[in-house]
Amino acid sequence: MRQKMGVGHWIGFVVILVWCLLPVAWIVSLSFKSLDETTVGSPQFLPKDPTWDNYQVLLNWNDPAGHDFMRALINSFGIALIATFLSVVFATLAAYAIARLEFRGKRLVLSMALAIAMFPVVSLVGPLFDMWRTFHLFNTWPGLIIPYMTFTLPLAIWTLSAFFREIPWEMEQAAQVDGATSWQAFRKVIVPLAAPGVFTAAILTFFFAWNEFVLAISLTSTTGSRTVPAQMSFFVGPDPFNPPYAQLATASVIVTIPVIIIVLLFQRRIVAGLTSGAVKG
Amino acid sequence: MASITMKNIVKQYGDGFPAVNDVSIDIADGEFMILVGPSGCGKSTLLRMIVGLEDISSGDMLIGDQRVNDLAPRDRNLAMVFQNYALYPHLTVYENIAFPLRLAGAPDSEIDQKVRAASATLELDEHLDRKPGNLSGGQRQRVAMGRAIVRDADAFLFDEPLSNLDAKLRGQMRTEISRLQKRLGITTVYVTHDQTEAMTLGDRVAVLKRGLLQQLATPRELYENPGNLFVAGFIGSPPMNFLPATVEGTTAKLPFGNVELPPDRAERAAGHGLLLAGIRPEYFDDASTREGAGGSTFHATVEVVEWLGHETYAYIPYDAPPEVAEQLRQLERDLDGEAMHTQLVAALSGNSRIKAGDQAEIWVDASKIHLFDPETGRNLTVDAEHAGTIPDLATTA
């Protein structure tokens, strides 16, 4: 039975929306204000004189600030995508083994993974900094990709092995009888069925790598490998008492857009219960 | 197409438990073979060893002339229908059926032609673009069969394919499977615990109990000449009655009275002391509807009557002596049944007027009584020439 939405529902709905979206609206609004408007200290919500200047500066290779920002954006995309890809590939294989095979030390692998996931990132910054300098990984893409994978793999493995366990054994056996090798059965039957899990793991990994700040600021020294969150802390402007709020807001908006696009693209994939109808019932 | 030969197949699990023990079965090219038995008898394990999903501990598995023990499932060229169908939910019906062909790398035109032929056979044409999740149980069953028939497999393997369907659909699909198999003439191995499916579908039936082959024979042979108590009790519905009996000369003493046995049967049972007489319910009848038919009659009090129209089941309780009571209880356990009080079930003619509580005169056809040794369970009166293969008999004789 469908219940009609009461007034209480609507009020709660609006309160939550405002609570969540007001900061976002504020950032968007800020990004359209000129430098003068943010420094004069007369706050009003909507820009008096909306301008695309901030976007033009930040997305311009020839402007020094824009140049650094664009480099950071490329680093962010590269590092996050590579870390996500590798993490999901490894996690899929590992989770499949954990879900399907009996081997010694399976529990150890799972509990170690959980322990790593719970480890505070900050405590590793010092040792990693020293190690990466020795290994010549400091201020390189792999220098960030490797720790990102370390922290995202456990979660991805746990998520995916739960998905794999849900898939009936018969699926694979049927594929093998139909003439598939183990690898073909895995690739053509198991992975598509676990797709919601794979996407979930991929998105979680991507967000972690995309948003990460502590490692990004500590293990880089130039725009050669610095990511956007770290780069944004270098937006100081000429006057240390008057940070370029408008530019910061613009950078925040730009860096949020990919996240929103990804969520919109994949939310249906995540929600879709693909296994329905596999077996009787 | 090919024959399948199993020689002394053994499946032992890690704890040493033999799920399948020394089973030898020859399945001829084009034959419809049924593996039947109560749960845990090893029938599914045996099927999975044929298809290659279980390792074979010892013995030889031959498909055609080739020993396949060490071949992977994909190299055995067999098609299997799983109990829960195991359809690929992310693929359409068309792609599900096409899946084996795509793996084999067949060209698209050939795939299309074969899939359409299979779907026409199974009347799935209108469902080709749908996903399995949107199909009914019977349709999913047909898709699973489509996936099996689309490739030119050497044999079909069915693992309890109808157990997930309701009774009416099960009957229809049973006929459908039979028709399909006759038309394609392909070697088929079919696992079931349902004796109706076993009796109606199979050219021959292999009855298994706790990993051991009990008897391998045609349905008629199993019914008329069961090799031992287990087979006798398993085949037939309602099941065969087992009554304590002693044989003196040609007279068998039953709890209800004496019956005259044919001389050849009496002779084989001589000198065995207390025996179990196996009498199928339909060998009894209301004496009043069988006037002048010969045979013996006895009087007994009927406790319950079930009138079904074409026949009437009459239940007559009796007390079993302790020597055979334990044997009968064990048999019930083997058959997945409940050990209930001992009673005789008689299938009387539908126009019998016997009512519950009546002292009725019951007629019995003594010529078809089987006599079993309660110790070994062997059928002493078995007609070995018309009983197929009884491995137990071969080793003890």
Is residue B397 very low, low, confident or very high in pLDDT (cuts 50, 70, 90)?
A: very low
The alpha-carbon gap from A161 to the nearest alpha carbon of chain B, in Å, equals: 19
CA distance A268 to chain B (A): 15
At residue B298, the pLDDT reads 85
Question: Which segments in chain A show pLDDT lower than 50?
Answer: 1, 273-281
Question: A213 in a domain, yes or no?
Answer: yes
- B331 in Cβ contact with B228 (< 8 Å): no
Residues of B in contact with A178 (CB under 8 A): 74, 79, 99-100, 103, 147, 151
Mutation to test the A interface, candidates B55, B90, B96, B130, most A Cβ within 10 Å: B90
The token pair that represents A19 in the structure block: 């609570």
Provide the total of helices (H) and of strands (E) in chain A, helices listed first.
Answer: 14, 0
Please give the ipTM for the structure prediction.
0.79
Amino acid sitting at position B393:
L
In a domain? residue A144: yes
**Predicted confidence (pLDDT) per residue in B290-335, tens digit:** 776 667 888 888 999 999 988 899 999 888 888 788 888 888 888 8
- Is 60 exceeded by the pLDDT of residue B394? no
pLDDT digits (tens, 9 = 90+) for B55-81: 999 999 999 889 999 999 989 999 999
Q: Which residue of B has its CA nearest to A168?
A: B86
Instruction: Decide if pLDDT at B217 tops 90.
Output: yes
A203 domain-assigned: yes
> Distance (Å) from the C-alpha of residue B387 to the closest C-alpha of chain A?
35
> pLDDT (tens digit, 9 = 90+) per residue, B16-63?
888 999 999 999 999 999 999 988 889 999 999 999 999 999 999 999
Q: Domain for residue A58, yes or no?
A: no
Mutate to test the interface with A, among B47, B63, B87, B160 (most CBs of A within 10 A): B87
- Percent above pLDDT 70 for chain B: 96
Domain count, chain A: 1
What Cα–Cα distance (Å) separates residue A45 from each residue in A23, A51, A254, B49, B310? 11, 15, 20, 74, 89
Tell me if A52 is assigned to some domain: no
Q: What domains can be seen in chain B, in order of their start residue?
A: 4-222 (3.40.50.300), 229-381 (no CATH)
* DSSP-derived secondary structure for A108-137: HHHHHHHHHHHS-SHHHHHHHHHHHHHTT-
In this predicted structure, the answer to whether residue B227 has a pLDDT above a threshold of 70 is yes
CA atoms within 13 A on the CB side of B115: 24
Question: Cβ–Cβ of B79/A274 closer than 8 Å?
Answer: no
In angstroms, the CA B179 to CA B189 distance is: 15
Does any domain span residue A11? no
The confidence score (pLDDT) of residue B292 equals 67
Containing structural domain, residue A177: 64-271
Q: Say whether B84 and A193 touch across the interface (CB within 8 A).
A: no
Per the domain annotation, does A92 fall within a domain?
yes
3-state helix, strand, coil in chain B (%, to 5): 35, 30, 35
Q: How far apart are the first and last CA of chain B?
A: 36
For the residues B125-148, what does the mean pLDDT come to? 90
Cβ distance of A277 and B131 shorter than 8 Å = yes
Is the Cα dihedral A242, A243, A244, A249 positive or negative? negative
pLDDT tens figures, B107-130: 999 999 999 999 998 888 999 999
The answer to whether A184 contacts B103, with C-beta atoms less than 8 Å apart, is yes
Q: Is residue A29 part of a domain?
A: no
Locate A84 and state its tokens.
């996500």
Query: Chains A, B: CB contacts under 8 A, how many?
Result: 84
Range from A181-195, A226-240, B171-185, B272-286 carrying the lowest mean pLDDT: A226-240
Q: What is the CATH number of the domain that holds A178?
A: 1.10.3720.10
Return mean pLDDT, chain B.
88
How far is residue B314's CA from residue B288's CA, in Å, rounded to a whole number? Answer: 15
Residues of B in contact with A274 (CB under 8 A): 89-90
Residues of A in contact with B146 (CB under 8 A): none
pLDDT over threshold 60, residue B175: yes
CA angle B219, B142, B117 (to 5 degrees): 110
Query: Chain A residues with CB inside 8 Å of B132's CB?
Result: 277-278
Q: Using an 8 Å Cβ cutoff, are B22 and B36 in contact? A: no
Which segments of B202-345 does DSSP mark as H helices, in order? 219-224, 229-234, 263-269, 322-334
Q: Are residues A193 and B99, on separate chains, in Cβ contact within 8 Å?
A: no
**Model confidence, pTM:** 0.79
